[in-house]
Amino acid sequence: MSFTHAELDYLFANHEATEPGAPATELELSKKSMLADLATLRKDCGEHARALVELVLARRSASKKMNPDVAFSWWADNDAVQQATPEPVARWRAQHLVEIGAGKIADVTCSVGTELRSLHSAGLDVIGSDLDLARLRMAKRNVPQVGLFRSDATVPAAQTDVVVADPARRNSSGRINSLADVVPSIADLRAAHGAETEFAIKCAPGIDFNDVREWGGMVDVVSVDRQVKEACVYTPGLVATRVSSTHSSSQRNSTLLRRAVVLREGAEPTVLTSDMPDEVTEGAPGRYLIDPDGAIVRAGLVKHYAAVHGLWQLDHRIAYVTGDVVPAGERGFRILEEVPTKKLRGALAARGVGKLEILVRGVDVDPDVLRKKMKLKGTGEATVVITRVGKAATAFICEAERW
């Protein structure tokens, strides 16, 4: 829940009560303990107990998205944290804008300042605006170095070269699935800020690229530690230098550059682009099945990934690829046996499998239902990959390995 201005006044005036080690931060604050914890806090802070709980829980959630040392002094409510871009993704965007020489930037949906922090830390000239005054008050505490304005996203607060925006993807009815229905609309954003302004617009990772070809120049689909977090559509003036002059036939008909950005803790970012070679074959399975990172799948770059790593496809409609070597840092599934799905139970029983991981792609199979049907009683472990090869569903009994 959002904070009232009275609650923010109290929290700002009593910030020591929110710092690590303060009584409120030591409470469990779980569903089971919440009533008792609130009763404890009310003894000292009365009607402001709820606000303390909201802030502590928001900071705990924020520590999973950003540097914990920063998160535990961050001003935010739970909704703002849930909507915030994870710090690695925001840093990636800031780095990209630095590399292409972006001018003055306005984050017109800045909320409590999560994106602003990364943009400012990268040395960019940035301002922020939001319509929610309570969140702007928190942003002023979080990024005091950045100029902030209260403004609707479609009302320019100042002359800028680049607008970063995160239109709302939820409404009172739930998640918004169509890019045409986000608020404010893409058309309204572009019309409000002038023809010379470039845009970086954050979107849900499952967007239909055909919906942005008219105005987009590049789209990044970004994952963090194998979880796809967002897509960001950049207008043509913000497109990165293209990696290759060799275009596949599918790319010669489109100017939209797609990038899969794979971010992993402790590793350099991996970037695949749609203008890389994508000529791969289909064939019998090699020693391993490999499931490409979700960002690669969502960006439509499975063939490019296979081409880069010397892999091939079992079926051009399926995202699994295969080969005799697993790319460094990836999880592969060493194929032990390939069986028709009707014979899977017997094959697993013969191997003494009792604990089973089931992965499904391109086949209408519920893993939980299938696991119950197997009635496994052994002590061994295995991974079963069920996927479509040609017209038939095939089960691969595998052993998971990480390289």
- pLDDT average, residue stretch 281-303: 95
How far is it, in rounded angstroms, from Cα 235 to Cα 218? Answer: 7
3-state helix, strand, coil split of the chain in percent (to 5) is 35, 25, 40
Order of strands, sheet of 380-389, starting from the edge strand that comes earlier in the sequence: 312-313, 321-323, 288-290, 331-340, 392-402, 380-389, 353-361
- pLDDT average, residue stretch 378-396: 92
- pLDDT for 251: 42
pLDDT confidence bin for 1, thresholds 50/70/90:
confident
Tokens of 372: 């119950």
CB-CB neighbours of 206 under 10 Å:
11
Q: Range with the lowest mean pLDDT among 35-39, 51-55, 167-171, 198-202?
A: 167-171
Q: What would the 3-class secondary structure string for the chain be?
A: CCCCHHHHHHHHHCHHHHCCCCHHHHCCCCCCCHHHHHHHHHHHHHHHHHHHHHHHHHHHHHCCCCCHHHHCCCCCCHHHHHHCCCHHHHHHHHHHHHHCCCCCEEECCCCCCHHHHHHHHCCCCEEEEECCHHHHHHHHHHCCCCEEEECCCCCCCCCCCEEEECCECEECCEECCCHHHCECCHHHHHHHCCCCCEEEEEECCCCCHHHCCCCCCEEEEEEECCEEEEEEEECHHHCCCCCCCCCCCCCCCCCCEEEEEEECCCCCCEEEECCCCCCCCECCCCCEEECCCHHHHHCCCHHHHHHHHCCEECCCCCCCEEECCCCCCCEEEEEEEEEEHHHHHHHHHHCCEEEEEEEEECCCCCHHHHHHHHCCCCCEEEEEEEEEECCEEEEEEEEEEEC
193-238 tens-digit pLDDT = 988 999 999 999 988 999 999 999 999 999 999 999 999 999 999 9
pLDDT confidence bin for 248, thresholds 50/70/90:
very low
Amino acid found at 47: E
Phi, then psi, of 120 in degrees rounded to 5: -65, -40
Q: Is the pLDDT of residue 245 over 60?
A: no
Q: Is the pLDDT of residue 272 over 80?
A: yes
- pLDDT for 165: 96
- pLDDT for 57: 95
pLDDT confidence bin for 244, thresholds 50/70/90:
very low
Polymer length in residues for the chain: 403
For residues 214-247, one letter each, b for 16 or more C-beta atoms within 10 angstroms of the residue's C-beta and e for the rest, the string is eebbbbbbbbbeeebbbbbbbbeebbbeeeeeeb
- pLDDT average, residue stretch 109-124: 97
- pLDDT for 334: 96
Residue spans per domain, the chain: 5-81, 83-239+254-264, 288-402
Mean pLDDT of the chain, nearest integer = 91
How far is it, in rounded angstroms, from Cα 161 to Cα 156? Answer: 11
Which residues sit opposite 321 in a β-bridge? 290, 313
- pLDDT average, residue stretch 302-307: 97
- pLDDT average, residue stretch 158-179: 82
- pLDDT for 202: 96
Q: Which CATH superfamily is 83-239+254-264 part of?
A: Vaccinia Virus protein VP39 (3.40.50.150)
67-107 tens-digit pLDDT = 999 999 999 999 999 999 999 999 999 999 999 999 999 99
Tokens of 311: 């892999």
How far is it, in rounded angstroms, from Cα 22 to Cα 38? Answer: 15
- pLDDT for 177: 67
Q: Is the pLDDT of residue 347 over 80?
A: yes
Element spanning 23, H or E = helix 23-26
Q: Is the pLDDT of residue 344 over 60?
A: yes
Report strand pairing: 321-323 vs 312-313. Answer: antiparallel
Q: Range with the lowest mean pLDDT among 133-147, 252-266, 321-335?
A: 252-266
Most confident among 121-135, 175-189, 364-378 (mean pLDDT): 121-135
Q: Is the pLDDT of residue 325 over 90?
A: yes
- pLDDT average, residue stretch 319-337: 93
- pLDDT for 172: 64
Strands (E) in 131-276, as ranges, are: 147-150, 162-165, 170-171, 174-175, 198-203, 218-224, 227-234, 257-263, 270-273
How far is it, in rounded angstroms, from Cα 278 to Cα 268? Answer: 23
Nearest to 319 by CA among 219, 226, 388: 388
pLDDT confidence bin for 32, thresholds 50/70/90:
very high
CB-CB neighbours of 154 under 10 Å:
15
pLDDT confidence bin for 242, thresholds 50/70/90:
low
